[in-house]
Structure 1
């Protein structure tokens, strides 16, 4: 999915178009790819023991990863014009709750997989579809296909920023303790 022959230190938005993605969705695809790269970069040496630790009653690193994954899935569901399933509601209810599968590596792999599914969905869309009305949630709040997909991408970027701060502070605390 990544353009070839580019320096990995260059952010995705400067690497050129992602093959097969409609031009209006290029910024969203770049944001999702950057979120995935940043997730792995920022958590490369993150101690697993801090995965569910909250700072100042704010979200844990584990929550951010679960939530980003869930948002991609939910926004794609709404973009398709369908309602959330019981499984999606259950996932939403359990974001931030550790389970047997919620290791750092598994959570990051889940996000990467959902990002790849989302980019695959992008490839199947025509730009004409992007302006179509869609509705969010039980209240049927108005949006468009493009609005939902853009929100998924920018929402991921926002949580990556929050995750970075939380992970940095937690790693710094560990350094002071050791």
Structure 2
């Protein structure tokens, strides 16, 4: 799934096209690839004990990781013209709920796996399909296949930014404590 230029210091959007993905989905592919890379960059040495800690009553790192994964899954479901399953609703309900059975490593791996599923899905889409109307949620709000997939990508980037701030502050607090 890597673009042709593998220089890791260059952001994905400057590495060239991701092979097999339609041109209109290149920005979305680059955004989810960049999100995945940044998660691994920003969470190096992140203390596991802070995974569910909130700062100023804002979302925890654990929430951001779960939510990003869930959004990719849900937006892809809507893009396929399907409704969410009970399993997806249950996942959504539990995003951010502290769970000692979930590790940082597993949450990061879950996002990577969902990103890979999404990129494979992108490869099977035509530009005509991208223009097709779709609805979102129980209210059936209007969108398109392209709109849903772009939203998933930009939403993951937004949450990576929030995660970065939370993780950075928590890591610095640990340094001051120890």
Does the pair score TM above 0.5? yes
- Residue 20 of structure 1: aligned partner: 20
SS of the aligned residue for 1:142 comes to strand
What is the rounded CA distance, in whole Å, between the counterparts of 2:129 and 2:101 in structure 1? Answer: 36
Contact 2:4 2:16 in 1 (8 A): no
* 1:133 CA drift (Å): 0.4
Deviations 1:128-178 (A, max 9, x none): 101100000010000000000000000000000000000000000011111
Q: Mapping of 1:50-61 within 5 angstroms? A: 50-61=50-61
What is the rounded CA distance, in whole Å, between the counterparts of 2:25 and 2:54 in structure 1? Answer: 34
- Residue 156 of structure 1: aligned partner: 156
Q: Mapping of 1:23-62 within 5 angstroms? A: 23-62=23-62
- Residue 74 of structure 2: aligned partner: 74
SS of the aligned residue for 1:87 comes to helix
What is the rounded CA distance, in whole Å, between the counterparts of 2:146 and 2:31 in structure 1? Answer: 14
- Residue 86 of structure 1: aligned partner: 86
Is residue 2:175 matched to residue 1:171? Answer: no
Give the direction of change, closer, same or farther, for the CA distance of 1:13–1:47 in structure 2 (3 Å limit): same
* 1:68 CA drift (Å): 0.2
SS of the aligned residue for 1:9 comes to coil
Give the direction of change, closer, same or farther, for the CA distance of 1:12–1:43 in structure 2 (3 Å limit): same
Structure 1 unaligned runs (5+)?
none
- Residue 130 of structure 1: aligned partner: 130
Q: How many residues matched?
A: 178
Q: Which stretches of structure 1, 4 residues or longer, exceed 2 Å deviation after superposition?
A: 3-6, 98-101
SS of the aligned residue for 2:2 comes to coil
